Structures are given as structure tokens and as C-alpha cells.
Structure 1
Amino acid sequence: MVVTLHSVVREGLELDYDREHRVIPDDLVEDFARFGITGWEIWRVGRHLFHRVECEDWDRANEALAGSAANRRWQQHINQVVDHFDPVDERGVPQPLDRVWSLSEQRDG
């Protein structure tokens, strides 16, 4: 499955965010693989970040990441430059954006 997410960088820290994502911790990359996350790309426009995540099951991956020491360390670190995700559920877990339209689906029917 593919999900898209939206987050926002703290004002003035856009280049810090870019620098921090040149390479993420290897133990987090290993956890992603163990939890079924096979791809993650991020685009930035100003302060707005758009994430494209390829995973087996987004909800299951998030549950597993909640118990990951590598993810907790990374979140503590990166939240110095990330302001927030939007939208989130009642637990604060980032929620995928709704896809509105797909050219390939329209074309291929």
C-alpha cells in the first residue's frame, strides 16, 4: 500500500530538516524493513513536507514504531525541527491524506 502524509517544519529550520534527512539512523532503517515499510520519500515546499510511504500496513507499522527505541530516539531528535503532522488521529498518529484523483486509474479504467 502507498500512503501520503503532510507535516510542517518549524519556521526558519527548513535547511536543518533537509540536512538531518541526508541520512537517517541505520537502526531506524532496519526497523522500517522489519515493520513492513519498504519505501519512504519526502518532498518539501517551503515549510510543508509531503511524504510518500510504501508499506504493507500503515496502522500496523505505526504500532510497531511506537515500541521502537530507534524511532523514539529519532522522533526526539527530529521533532526539534518538525512542528507537526496534519492530520493526526486522537493518539497523535499521522493520518494519510485522502487521494482525490489518479490519472492512471482514469486512463486505465
Structure 2
Amino acid sequence: MRVALHTTVRADRVEAYEEAHRHVPEELTGAIRAAGVTSWTIWRSGTDLFHLLECDDYAGLLAALEPLPVNIAWQARMADLLDTVHDYSADGASAPLPVVWEL
């Protein structure tokens, strides 16, 4: 399934956000892949971040990653950089952007 998300980075933390993503821990990327993600791309327009990920089951992905110490540490780091964070709780499964049109 394809999932599109929208988060926002703090205007004064854009550079730090991009730097953090140049060094995503291998343990985290491995856990993301193990949870069924085949691709995850993030685009930035100003402070708006748009994520597109391909995964087997988005709710299952969130459930698998939420309790992992490496994800908890990463989310704490992101919380310092973002105004709108990616919600890894069970409620986050309703966060994907709705499809409006597709070709």
C-alpha cells in the first residue's frame, strides 16, 4: 500500500532536520524494512514535509516500530526538530493523506 503523510519542520531547524536524515541509524532503517516498508521518500517545501511510503500494512508498521528503543530515540530527536510529528501511536494509522486524484 502507498501512504502519504504530512509533517512540518520548525523553520529554525530545517538544516538540523536534513542533517539528521543524512545519518538515520542503520538499526532504524533495518527495523523499518523488517516492518514491511519497501520505500520511504520525504520531500520538503519550505517547512512542509511530504512523506510517501510503500508498505504492506501501515497500522502494522506503526505497531512494530512504536515500542522499539531505536525508534523512541529517533522520535525524541525529531520532536526537537518538528512542529508536526509522525504519530507512531495506534491513532497515527488514521494520519495518511486522503487520495484526491491518481493517474
TM-score, normalised to structure 2's length? Answer: 0.88
1:93 aligns with 2:92: yes
Within a 5 Å distance, the mapping from 1:59-78 to structure 2 comes to 59-78=59-78
Q: What amino acid is aligned across from residue 59 of structure 2 in structure 1? A: D
Q: Higher Cα Rg: structure 1 or 2?
A: 1
- Higher mean alpha-carbon deviation, 93-102 vs 27-36, is at 93-102
Within a 5 Å distance, the mapping from 1:32-47 to structure 2 comes to 32-47=32-47
Residue by residue over 1:45-84, the C-alpha shift from the partner in whole angstroms, topping out at 9 and shown as x without a partner, is 0000000011000001001111111100110112110111
Considering only aligned residues, what root-mean-square deviation do their CA atoms show, in Å?
1.9
Shift, 1:18, TM fit? 1.1
Identity of aligned residues (%): 35
Long gaps (5+) in structure 1: 104-109
TM-score, normalised to structure 1's length? Answer: 0.84
Structure 1 or 2: more helix by fraction = 2
Q: What amino acid is aligned across from residue 4 of structure 1 in structure 2? A: A
| Number of residue pairs aligned between Structure 1 and Structure 2 | 101
